[in-house]
Amino acid sequence: MKRPSKKVRPYKSKESTRARKFRSLGPKQDHMVPPWIGCVRWALTTEDFRKAFTRDTGRAMNLSHTEVLTDRDFKLLMEFTQWVNRNLWGEIDGHASDGEEDDTCLLKTSK
């Protein structure tokens, strides 16, 4: 009789842990993730949104200009993403809306 093989735990790198943390802020449905990431990237590259983030939180969007994301940069990126979820994308229960639960998934327009 064969012995069952031991399950090997996959190596969890710092980057994969960061990816999981970032992804946890996103929509639950996989098909909504690419547009959500696009929204976050668009907000990161738009000066008006970075200024609004700084005004609302008191934290300046100054990421390091290196190829590797530092822990400080990652924490700031997570805060910015949460701000984008609340102010641009729409948020339900701490994650980005899927658009099917309600109509908050569309970018909010100013009144």
DSSP string across the chain: -PPPPPPPPPP--HHHHHHHHHHHTS-SSGGGHHHHHHHHHHHHT-HHHHHHHHHHHS------SSSSPPHHHHHHHHHHHHHHIIIII-EETTEE--SSSSSTTSPPPP-
Local confidence pLDDT in tens for the 111 residues of the chain? 666 666 655 555 655 788 888 888 888 888 888 999 999 999 998 999 999 999 999 998 877 676 777 888 889 999 999 999 999 888 776 667 776 554 444 454 444
| Rounded distance between C-alpha atoms, residue 80 and residue 64, angstroms | 15
